[in-house]
Chains A and B, each alone.
Chain A
């Protein structure tokens, strides 16, 4: 019985090694990226141009990506978010990019260069960026309420039962802290407790529905009047439903950026640098932004799609306005645990 098992296992292993060996003629690039984050033809075009094969894997949270990477999986290019890049840099899990191989870095828009998580773009090259803000129905929400109350509109009883909150402790605590006039990266527990009370009050005052990705289709169909959303998703909603618009309060919000990085255990860093350079070209950026709807880091693409007649010309969310008080998120494990625990209590509250 045992012997037979061994033979079967051996045969299986042989078959598996044959499969993985057969495609070995071309150079390979392993890309680990968010789901639904690639233009339609970017991968096939890159493969053709550089005669290589790109293996794409998808993650749906930075933490999932981190767990996989820390578990020893080797990738050539990753596309995580700002705070995760900061963590990877601190933990020495990234290698510097080769700027001589990436001349296209000059094509980046000014705003996305040298952001706080990687001040000289030593390790990372922006891929998409945006803010977190309020999507609202222009017909049912008074613009003056937005201007006067900012994120506080989410607890205005006038809109009770008509709003979506994003089911994420990070983004919800961010809006509470910003509205209260604090930094979203605060380490002061009193401020966090104040934000917790603010969110509990919100829960009781307007009885929001807590959703994640469901918010995108629901707002596109106009099911509710207000929702907290990322600008990239909001851009899609605004494209689908002309009654919707996007607002970022002057109290500031979170500016985020997802960027391409090369981990230290990359098997093919040379090709990885070429890939990053390719992803910055106008052609690739255009394909990405038109397919996905998130804001491009390429200055020329930005100008073109927001110019009159462009695909995102009248889309308030595509190129969100930014304020001096906007912040980049920094990860702090103690604070993250604390807010996560508090968030569980908020959503479980009846």
Chain B
């Protein structure tokens, strides 16, 4: 068994070069100032001060969290019933549903998001349809609506699959026992199905919330630069304004937010399991 451990070395090498080293560089840049030169650097906390002392940056952070929360709530509201429904289907039908849901992810995310531009724009198909009744054009592209729509569209499959997986593993004999003991459908759902699906819900939330809060491509494509999120702020610092130090500081703040939210979902997950065991 022991020599199998060696097989992990390539991965360790990979992760050191591709993940750890860049992270260290980002930390280095975040705490230094004056350009991108690595040779003559000055340590500073200015980049962090700059972020927290300006209401504009705080409002960008607030906007990102808001949009990510809205996206997550919608995904959960749509995804839970969908996952529940699929888990109740016959085996063959299940696979077809799962295939249908994962089908769009076979196409590159950027292409799919770009396609929404054509659907939502002022002379796109939706507005052409409205036009038949003499309505519109309703501006949809470059609004918050378009950004949330793009995110729900892109991240919903993650939520459904997670919830479906946890519900599919559910031991049906528990439900039979509940029915035997006189619980009606609502009660057995609330007391058995729901609590047992919580781990799936939590990992679904993580898988939707994290990419949503740090997304930059969707707000740029569908928000037209008017729905500026934290990911866009980071992107701008690196690509257009060349302030790598500030960009790195914002990235680091982002990493901390993500770690904190993962800690809490992880904790909720554990308490949930503990409670179930306690019962």
B-contacting residues of A (Cβ < 8 Å)? 1, 61, 63, 67, 161, 167-169, 207, 209-211, 214, 223, 337, 340-341, 343-345, 347-350
Q: Does B56 contact A (CB under 8 A)?
A: yes
CB–CB A337/B225 < 8 A: no
Which chain B residues lie closer than 8 Å to A337 at the CB level? 243
Which chain A residues lie closer than 8 Å to B241 at the CB level? 169, 340-341, 343-344
A-contacting residues of B (Cβ < 8 Å)? 6, 9, 36, 54, 56-57, 59-60, 63, 121-123, 139, 142, 221, 224-226, 228, 232-233, 236-237, 239-243
CB–CB A211/B224 < 8 A: yes
CB–CB A223/B240 < 8 A: no
CB–CB B240/A167 < 8 A: yes
CB–CB B224/A348 < 8 A: no
Closest beta carbon of chain B to A346's beta carbon, Å: 9
Which chain B residues lie closer than 8 Å to A63 at the CB level? 242
Q: A209-B226, A340-B240 are in contact. List 12 more A-B contacts (CB 8 A).
A: A161-B139, A167-B225, A207-B226, A210-B226, A340-B243, A344-B233, A344-B241, A344-B243, A347-B225, A348-B57, A350-B59, A350-B228
How distant is the Cα of A347 from the Cα of B241 in the complex, in angstroms? 12
Closest beta carbon of chain A to B271's beta carbon, Å: 37
User: Which residue of chain B is the closest to A212 with respect to CB atoms?
Assistant: B240
How distant is the Cα of A161 from the Cα of B122 in the complex, in angstroms? 11
How distant is the Cα of A163 from the Cα of B249 in the complex, in angstroms? 33
Which chain B residues lie closer than 8 Å to A207 at the CB level? 226
Which chain B residues lie closer than 8 Å to A214 at the CB level? 221
Closest beta carbon of chain A to B148's beta carbon, Å: 15
Please judge, given known A-B contacts A340-B242, A348-B56, whether A209 and B225 are in contact too, CB under 8 Å: yes
Find the residue from A210, A214, A223, A343 having the highest chain B CB count within 10 A.
A210
Which chain A residues lie closer than 8 Å to B36 at the CB level? 67
Closest beta carbon of chain B to A237's beta carbon, Å: 17
Please judge, given known A-B contacts A347-B236, A348-B57, A348-B60, whether A211 and B225 are in contact too, CB under 8 Å: yes
CB–CB B240/A349 < 8 A: no
Closest beta carbon of chain B to A169's beta carbon, Å: 6
User: Which residue of chain A is the closest to B236 with respect to CB atoms?
Assistant: A344
Which chain B residues lie closer than 8 Å to A343 at the CB level? 240-241
User: Which residue of chain A is the closest to B122 with respect to CB atoms?
Assistant: A223
Which chain B residues lie closer than 8 Å to A348 at the CB level? 56-57, 59-60, 228, 233
How distant is the Cα of A176 from the Cα of B44 in the complex, in angstroms? 33
Which chain A residues lie closer than 8 Å to B232 at the CB level? 347
9 CB-based A-B contacts, threshold 8 Å: A167-B225, A209-B142, A214-B221, A223-B122, A343-B240, A347-B225, A347-B236, A348-B60, A350-B59
Please judge, given known A-B contacts A207-B226, A350-B63, whether A169 and B240 are in contact too, CB under 8 Å: yes
Which chain A residues lie closer than 8 Å to B243 at the CB level? 337, 340-341, 344
Closest beta carbon of chain A to B233's beta carbon, Å: 6
User: Which residue of chain B is the closest to A161 with respect to CB atoms?
Assistant: B139
Which chain B residues lie closer than 8 Å to A167 at the CB level? 225, 236, 240
Which chain B residues lie closer than 8 Å to A211 at the CB level? 224-225
How distant is the Cα of A341 from the Cα of B121 in the complex, in angstroms? 31
Please judge, given known A-B contacts A207-B226, A350-B59, A350-B63, whether A344 and B237 are in contact too, CB under 8 Å: yes
How distant is the Cα of A70 from the Cα of B253 in the complex, in angstroms? 30
Closest beta carbon of chain B to A210's beta carbon, Å: 3
Which chain A residues lie closer than 8 Å to B63 at the CB level? 350
CB–CB A168/B122 < 8 A: no
Which chain A residues lie closer than 8 Å to B142 at the CB level? 209
